[in-house]
Amino acid sequence: MPGSGRLLQGWTPATLIRLTFGLTTTLGLVLGYLGIAETRDLPLGFSRHTSDIVYWDLQFFTLDSDSLQGAASISWKLQVARFVIPMATFYAIAEAARHIFSGQWRRRSIRKLQGHVLVCGGGMAASLLTQRLLAFGETVVSIGSGLDGHPERRHFQLAGDPQSPETLKAAAVGRAKTVYAFAEDTAANLGTALTAEAVHRPRGGQFTSYVHVEEPELCQALRARRLVMASEPGARVDFVNSSELAARVLVEGRVPGQAIGHLLIVGLGPFGRSLLLELTRQQRVLTYGRRAKLTVVDDRSASIMDDLVARYPFLNHWERTTIECSPAEFHLAGWSSQLAEGQEPDQTYLCGADPVSALRGALTAVRLWRGRPQSLVVCLENSLTYGDVFHTEAEALLDGLGGVLHIFGVLEAACGSEFDGQEMIEQLARSIHETYQASVRGAASATAGSEVMVPWHVLPETYRRSSRAQAAHVGFKLREIGCMTAPTESGTHHFAFADEEVEHLARLEHQRWLDERRASNWRYGRVRNDLARTSPSMVPWAELTEEDKAKDREFVLPSPISSPTWACASSAPASSAPCGPCTSRAVTPGAR
């Protein structure tokens, strides 16, 4: 039958079995009723009243066939009914037993798991993350509502509070490799991570907790507190924010090398702010510092931008125009129609309005339809409803304006991105790389067109690995001089390391570099040779030339950093010299 395959698509085997038994039982009851009604030699006292026929028909469920006693012959209808109907009884008993013992079986199965992952939370983010992990072949234990009734055998559900040690022990957290605390409440996620680490600590081994934090700024602050802590071997806690993750996915998915002349962002909520920061980092590299135009729309656009620029001075890359208007009430078509020819934004992101308002704005702003592919982006919390509606393919329900319109789901992108277990280090490594690029541009270096002058996500792995190693060492250096980190609230924070601190940090940096190179089989040589992996700098600090020592001192001196702007505060007595931003200059493989 046409369309029958599509009708059954997505039905679970259990549903099909229940449907089959239901139809078979119904057929048996009908045949039993007709068979009893047609039987002539019925037992004494048995009438042919409808109620009596129904009563004796239902007796087949209890394996009682008294209605057939004394019958000279049994019709084929009764023969089918007296075997088919009891099958429903056996099926019901089996289902009841399964429900009674399945909980015990699942708990016993969970206790035997090894190397699985835990997803804590019952919201949309936890559900999407579970789907992604199952698709990657992971064994998942969901604590919370999760994906109720998911057919995958590798997915176990456990009811309970993930902040409770008993619940986490029942989920075999001691043998799990990763815990994702992705509830909608940040405090609950922090409690889950704290409990998970306490339960797992006695066992040791590799273990990572990802803690979802709703606000990007709070996420940065928590990372700063974690950075200077001496983590236990094998144990990692990382703080992630869906807006940051999704913004990175969206920006990295842009056409490589495509500069923006005029950017419009409607809505400066958590995702809108994260998107602006990611775009700025990309565009500063593509335009070599040349300023471009930015228009932002929000009911507090001026004050939000002032706060952002104070925290992230690199946002001065843009010539800013702020429009004080609620994103839901902003009339995109009317605003764009008043622009002079050639002044239209070449990239528009609608981030703050509800789906209906955002789509209405995108589908009525005719002057923006002439842009390049995906230049008109509607950003929704999730795109499950609208994501597949607008496409350029023939089978799409609606036209996507020739590829200009793009529906982007924030939660889908965030939960589908890579969690590498080093999110905090990764972000700081990116910042070190961007700082190095800024120093090269500022010095008008001849290497400005080299392979290192590219965005982070397309940077060769050799250079990224070097920046990550330097970023991972920042916390150790800060502990050595008694400093703490925090995201700055102002871009005007000034500081200076004491001379003895600079010297000590330079020694540490050189030793870190030596260890990194030795691990890569570098050795001492009078002349640097990348192919032979020799360098004259492969000597202890005391034997270094003054020129090389000066390079190490430069690498640890503070410099502007774009993501995030962090500052240090000394934990030493007040008479000590002040500390500064926890930044360092990137060491490229060819720098020494």
CA distances from 96 to 24, 90, 221, 448 (A): 19, 10, 51, 71
Q: What is the pLDDT of residue 273?
A: 94
Higher pLDDT, 195 or 430: 195
DSSP secondary structure of 553-588? HHHHS----SSS-EEEEE-S-TTSPP---S------
What tokens were used for 452? Answer: 């290192």
What confidence score (pLDDT) does residue 147 get?
Answer: 42
pLDDT for position 384:
62
Q: How many CB atoms are located within 10 Å of the residue 218 CB? A: 14
CA–CA separation, 108 and 117 (whole Å): 17
How far apart CA 222 and CA 224 sit, in angstroms, is 5
pLDDT at 423: 64
Cα Rg, the chain, nearest whole Å: 33
The residue with greater pLDDT, 62 or 25, is 25
**What does the pLDDT look like over 162-182, one tens digit per residue?**
999 999 998 988 889 899 999
Lowest mean pLDDT of 9-18, 109-118, 376-385, 515-524, name the range. 9-18
Tens-digit pLDDT profile for residues 60-102: 777 766 656 655 567 788 788 878 888 888 888 887 777 666 6
Contact 376, 406 (CB under 8 A): yes
pLDDT value for 579: 37
pLDDT of residue 305: 95
pLDDT at 474: 76
Report the percentage of the chain scoring pLDDT > 90: 22
Distance from C-alpha of 228 to C-alpha of 526, rounded to nearest angstrom: 37
Distance of alpha carbon 528 from alpha carbon 510, whole angstroms: 17
State yes or no: pLDDT of 129 exceeds 80: yes
Q: Provide the 3-class DSSP secondary structure of residue 92.
A: helix
pLDDT confidence band for 187 (50 / 70 / 90): very high
Q: What is the mean pLDDT of the chain?
A: 78
In this prediction, residue 329 carries a pLDDT of 92
Burial of 290 (C-beta count, 10 Å sphere; 0-12/13-18/19+): exposed
pLDDT at 344: 92
Q: How far apart are CA 25 and CA 54, in angstroms?
A: 14
Q: Which H or E run contains 240?
A: strand 235-240
Q: Indicate whether 528 pLDDT > 50.
A: yes
Rounded to an integer, the average pLDDT of 129-137 is 89
Cβ(308)–Cβ(274) below 8 Å: no
> What is the per-residue burial (b if ≥16 Cβ within 10 Å, else e) of 84-106?
bbbebeebeeeeeeeeeeeeeee
Are the C-beta atoms of 69 and 82 separated by less than 8 Å?
A: no
Burial 166-177 (b: 16+ CB within 10 A, else e): ebbebbbbbbbb
* Pairing, β 483-487 against β 566-570: antiparallel
- Residue 209, strand partner residues: 179, 237
pLDDT at 403 over 50: yes
Residue 421 has pLDDT above 90, yes or no: no
Q: What is the pLDDT of residue 40?
A: 67
List, for residues 245-266, the tens digit of each pLDDT value.
999 899 988 877 788 999 999 9
Instruction: With cut-offs at 50, 70 and 90, classify the pLDDT of residue 582.
Output: very low
Give me the residue label for tokens 């490589």: 256
Of the pLDDT bands very low, low, confident and very high (cuts 50, 70, 90), residue 462 is confident
Range among 253-267, 416-430, 446-460, 484-498 with highest mean pLDDT value:
253-267
Residue 310, token pair as written in the block: 């104070």
Q: What is the pLDDT of residue 325?
A: 94
When pLDDT is averaged across residues 266-282 and rounded to a whole number, the result is 92
Q: Locate 435 and state its tokens.
A: 């700082």
- The whole-angstrom separation of Cα 240 and Cα 179 is 13
- One-letter amino acid at 124 equals M
Q: What pLDDT, on a 0 to 100 scale, did the predictor assign at position 448?
A: 47
pLDDT over threshold 90, residue 322: yes
- pLDDT tens, 138-151? 999 999 754 444 44
